[in-house]
Structure 1
Amino acid sequence: MGRRLRHLRKERRLTLAQVSEVTGIAVSQLSLLENGKREAKVSTLQKLASCYQATLADMTSEVPSRRGQLEIELERAMNSPLARQRGLPTARISPRMPMDVLESLVALHRELARTVEEQVATPEEARRANVELREEMKDRDNYFAELEATAAQLLSRIGHRRGPVSQHDISAITAHLGFTLHHVGDLPHSTRSVTDLKAMRIYLPRVPGEHDPRTVLLQALGHYVLDHQTPRSYGEFLRQRVETNYLAAALLMPEATTVEFLRKAKSDKELAVEDLRDWFAVSYESAAHRFTNLATQHLDITLHFQKVHESGIIYKAYENDGVAFPTDHTGAIEGQPVCRYWTSRQVFDAEDKFNAFNQYTDTPVGTFWCTARVDTSPSGTFSTSIGIPYVAAKWFRGRDTRERSKSECPDESCCRRPPRALAAAWAGNAWPSARAHSHLLAALPPGAFPGVDETEVYRFLEAHSS
Structure 2
Amino acid sequence: MPGDLDLVTFGQRLRHLRRSRKMTLADLGERVGRAPSQLSLLENGKREPKLSLLTSLAQALGVSVEELLSRQPPSRRAQLEIAVEEAQRDPVYQTLNLPHLKVGKRVPNDVLEHIVGLYDELKRRNNKPTATPEEARLANADLRRQMRERGNYFEAIEKTAQETLDAVGYSGGALSQGQILSIVTHHGFTLRYVQDLPRSVRSVTDTRNRRLYLKRESLGMHSPRTILLQTLGHFVLGHSQPRDFADFLRQRVEANYFAAAVLIPESTAVPYLQEAKQARDLSVEDLRDVYSVSYEMAAHRFTNLANRHLDLVCHFIRNDETGIIYKAYENDGLIFPTDDTGAIEGQRMCRYWSGRQVFASPDRYSIYYQYTDKPNGTHWCVAHVDPSRERNFAITLGVPYKESRWFRGRETTNRTQSNCPTGECCVRPPSELASRWEGNVWPSARAHSHVLSALPSGTFPGVDETDVYTFLERHAAE
TM-score scaled by length of structure 1: 0.75
How high is the sequence identity, in percent, across the aligned residues?
57
Please say if residues 366 and 385 of structure 2, whose CA atoms lie closer than 8 Å, have aligned partners that are also in contact: no
Question: Which residue matches 1:145?
Answer: 155
Deviation readout 1:34-84 (Å, 9 max, x if unpaired) = xxxxxxxxxxxxxxxxxxxxxxxxxxxxxxxxxxxxxxxxxxxxxxxxxxx
In 2: Cα distance, 1:102 partner to 1:130 partner: 33
- C-alpha separation between the residues in 1 aligned to 2:430 and 2:318? 27
Q: Which amino acid is the alignment partner of residue 175 of structure 1?
A: T
Does the CA contact (< 8 Å) of 2:130 and 2:244 recur in 1?
A: no
Aligned residues of 1:305 and 1:384 also touching (Cα < 8 A): yes
Structure 1 partner of 2:310: 299
Please list, as runs of the form range in 1=range in 2, the aligned pairs for 1:374-453 lying within 5 A after superposition. Answer: 374-453=385-464
Distance (whole Å) between structure 1 residues aligned to residue 180 and residue 187 of structure 2: 11
Using the alignment, how far apart are the partners of 2:216 and 2:338 within structure 1?
Answer: 40
Map of 2:383 onto structure 1: 372
1:262 corresponds to:
273
TM-fit CA distance, 1:432: 0.8
The letter of the residue matching 2:141 is V
Kept in 2: contact 1:185–1:207 (CA 8 A): no
Count of residue pairs the alignment pairs up: 364
Q: 2:323 aligned with 1:290, yes or no? A: no
Q: 2:239 aligns with which of 228, 234, 241?
A: 228
Among 301, 320, 338, the residue aligned to 1:309: 320
2:228 maps to a residue whose letter is: L
1:99-132 Cα deviation digits (max 9, x unpaired): x998459xx9xx9799367226211111111111
1:351 aligns with 2:336: no
- 1:37-56 equivalences in 2 (<5 Å): none
Larger radius of gyration: 1
CA drift of 1:395 comes to 0.3
1:126 aligned partner? 136
Structure 2 portions without partners, runs of 5+: 1-93, 100-117
Separation (CA, whole Å) in 1 of partners of 2:409 and 2:256: 29
Residue 425 of structure 2 aligns to a residue whose secondary structure is coil
Matched residue, 1:214: 225
- When residues 457 and 421 of structure 1 are mapped into structure 2, their CA distance, relative to the original with a 3 A threshold, is same
Cα gap change, 1:154 to 1:102, in 2 (>3 Å): closer
Q: Secondary structure at the match of 1:414?
A: helix
* SS of structure 2 residue aligned to 1:148: helix
- Which residue does 2:198 correspond to in 1? 188
Unaligned runs of 5+ in 1: 1-99
Contact 2:198-2:468 within 8 A present in 1 as well: yes
Indicate whether 1:198 and 2:208 are aligned: yes
Question: What is the letter of the counterpart of residue 251 of structure 1?
Answer: V
2:3 paired residue number: none
User: Would the aligned equivalents of 2:130 and 2:245 in 1 still touch at CA under 8 Å?
Assistant: no
Using the TM superposition, give the Cα deviation of residue 440 of structure 1 relative to its aligned residue in structure 2, in angstroms.
1.7
Q: CA deviation at 1:208?
A: 4.2
- Match of 2:296, SS state, is helix
TM-score of the superposed pair, with normalisation by structure 2: 0.73
Contact 1:184 1:203 in 2 (8 A): yes
Q: Is the counterpart of residue 245 in structure 1 residue 239 in structure 2? A: no
CA 218–114 in structure 1, closer or farther in 2 if over 3 Å, else same:
same
The code of the aligned residue for 1:380 comes to: R
CA contact (8 A) 1:301 1:392 kept: yes
Q: Is the 8 A contact 2:280 2:408 kept in 1?
A: yes
Tell me the equivalent position of 1:464: 475
